[in-house]
Chain A
Amino acid sequence: MEMLEMKNVTKTFGGLTAVEKVNFMVKKGSISGLIGPNGAGKTTIFNLITGIYKVTEGEIIFKGIPIQNLEPHRIASMGITRTFQNIRLFKKLSVYDNILTACHHNAGYNLIESVLRLGRFKKEEKDLRQDTENLMEIMGLAKWRDHAAHSLPYGLQRRLEIARALAVKPELLLLDEPAAGMNPDETLQLMNLIREIRDKFKCTIFIIEHHMDLVMGICENIMVLNFGRKLTEGPPEKVQRDPQVIQAYLGEGAKLGA
């Protein structure tokens, strides 16, 4: 069953075609990867899925509903969230508040109820706070509870961004280079974390990454993008032996290893 389907998706910036006629499917419950040389259009695809950019042509279908050109917040409330390549946390807020803010969808009390502190407000707010505590625990952030987001080390900031995305209870989670700036050991931990997330939160995950250890280690299906077009697609074993991929992306070093 398909979680996400891209049909002939194209995006141009002025004269530049960043993404061209891309077709791809993400299976429900899978971990899929998106790789390709720098500037291939990977982040752009994420921006299209999350509604930050408007699609020039083509369709993006999420659980059977076309979502291209919906407002980002609509798409998010339908169940797609993401992290950013350049970290975008609520910098001055604490770790706790970053996550708590993102939990807002799980409560339904309205303005009046919050201003008058009615029963529903109190109950739901308590739940939100409990959710937040749980998430911090799972993501190993509890220790940093009251630290301002911007003062965390880089690796933890990435982790916090994932936690914030999870707070929305997404069905599809998009991770844009989650391992950037991590050393191999940390990358390994991250791999385990991503698997754990998929199992615990029952969500589908779609990752952009340049760390091949990670991509090849956890992705079930990988799309390779080059110059905005799909180069190939398939399981890791297939993709990493593809001479086109080696030539455009992995480089000669990969051949030696193989």
Chain B
Amino acid sequence: MIQFLQQMINGLSIGSVYALMAVGYSLVYSIMNFSNFAHGGIIMLGAYFGFFFLTLFNWPFAMAFLGAAICAAILAVLVERVAYKPLRMRNAPFLYFIISAMGASMFIENFVIATIGPTFKTYPTVFSREPFRLGPLFIGRLDTMMFVISAICLAALIYFIDFTKMGKAIQATAFNPRASALMGINTDLIIITVFAIGGFLAGIAGVLFGMKYTVYPQIGFITIKSFIAAVFGGLGSLPGAVIGSVILGVLETLISGYFSSQFRDLISFSLLIFILVFRPIGLMGKSTEEKA
């Protein structure tokens, strides 16, 4: 029983890591309708910014945290300008965006390797990493923080997207930029906003990952898991992405803990595919019978 509870805690904390990435990633996805594979790269850059602000500039933690998020936001917008905007202007199909995103992700990662170097950087300890203890159970401090932060980000984003005028404008732009422009929406600004928010969230995730895992050029790789989780949760649905993440985390944990860690991904992928067969739009995806 204790073992099971501990495993659930483990699962939730892995899930929060995925969720933290998934919110930013899924936001851009739901607006732009393509997988922004550069998101992992931005997370990584956020982690490096946080690291340098803390160690080279000796900034206080809160400032470094915010600074990293802002820098990440700027870079995310930069990526959009360079790699996606020209495609957007030509109404290119989503495949081209994905390839461009892959190019961007390759560029970012290797740029860091070539300049900063491939070595691992350890974050200075800002606060105690001692886990909370609940009887025989251990709950990670950073994990708890990630869980809370992803919940807050999610709530804030849902509010922003569903209940503000700007949010509606974002959704409209996602669907049809031309028609949105006719409503007087500055679509370019909207897209910048979306990428900035996505980048900001990536920056936050980056600093937290950096503290948890150290910083290295491939730290963004785990984004692939949040991609999977987001699809599983139902594409275009922010809560779906987060719930999908948590479920994926728990699922992986239980499989490792009770079946076979050697075949973990095999089993968890099979389960996900199995679920998709019965629910082809993911957990929270909106059912749309195509209207002819």
A84 on the B face (CB < 8 A):
yes
The interface centre, meaning the residue of B289, B290, B291, B292 with most chain A CB atoms within 10 A of its CB, is B292
Bound-state Cα–Cα, A229 to B2, Å? 62
Interchain CB contact under 8 A, A84 and B289: no
How does the 8 Å CB contact mask read for B262-292 relative to A, with 1 for contact and 0 for none?
Answer: 0000000000000000000000000001111
Interchain CB contact under 8 A, B289 and A43: no
B292 partner residues in chain A, CB cutoff 8 A: 43, 46-47, 50, 52, 84-86, 88
B289 partner residues in chain A, CB cutoff 8 A: 13, 53
B290 partner residues in chain A, CB cutoff 8 A: 52
How does the 8 Å CB contact mask read for A164-207 relative to B, with 1 for contact and 0 for none?
Answer: 00000000000000000000000000000000000000000000
Residue in chain B with minimal CB distance to A43: B292
How many residues from A make CB contacts under 8 Å with B? 11
Bound-state Cα–Cα, A53 to B290, Å? 9
Residue in chain A with minimal CB distance to B289: A53
A50 partner residues in chain B, CB cutoff 8 A: 292
| Main secondary structure on A side of the interface with B | loop
Query: Distance in Å from the Cβ of B259 to the closest Cβ of chain A?
Result: 38
Bound-state Cα–Cα, A53 to B291, Å? 9
A84 partner residues in chain B, CB cutoff 8 A: 292
Query: Distance in Å from the Cβ of B290 to the closest Cβ of chain A?
Result: 7
Bound-state Cα–Cα, A102 to B290, Å? 22
Q: Which of A21-64 contact B (CB under 8 A)?
A: 43, 46-47, 50, 52-53
Residue in chain A with minimal CB distance to B287: A14
A43 partner residues in chain B, CB cutoff 8 A: 292
Bound-state Cα–Cα, A41 to B265, Å? 47
Bound-state Cα–Cα, A160 to B289, Å? 26
Q: Which of A59-73 contact B (CB under 8 A)?
A: none
A46 partner residues in chain B, CB cutoff 8 A: 292
Residue in chain B with minimal CB distance to A176: B292
Query: Distance in Å from the Cβ of B19 to the closest Cβ of chain A?
Result: 30
Query: Distance in Å from the Cβ of B5 to the closest Cβ of chain A?
Result: 40
Query: Distance in Å from the Cβ of B137 to the closest Cβ of chain A?
Result: 44
A52 partner residues in chain B, CB cutoff 8 A: 290, 292
Residue in chain A with minimal CB distance to B290: A52
The interface centre, meaning the residue of B289, B290, B291 with most chain A CB atoms within 10 A of its CB, is B291
Query: Distance in Å from the Cβ of A42 to the closest Cβ of chain B?
Result: 12
Interface residues of B (CB under 8 A from A): 289-292
Q: A43-B292, A47-B291, A47-B292 are in contact. List 10 more A-B contacts (CB 8 A).
A: A13-B289, A46-B292, A50-B292, A52-B290, A52-B292, A53-B289, A84-B292, A85-B292, A86-B292, A88-B292
- 13 A-B pairs within 8 Å (CB atoms) are namely A13-B289, A43-B292, A46-B292, A47-B291, A47-B292, A50-B292, A52-B290, A52-B292, A53-B289, A84-B292, A85-B292, A86-B292, A88-B292
Q: Lowest 6 CB-CB distances: which A-B pairs, in order?
A: A52-B292, A47-B292, A84-B292, A53-B289, A43-B292, A52-B290
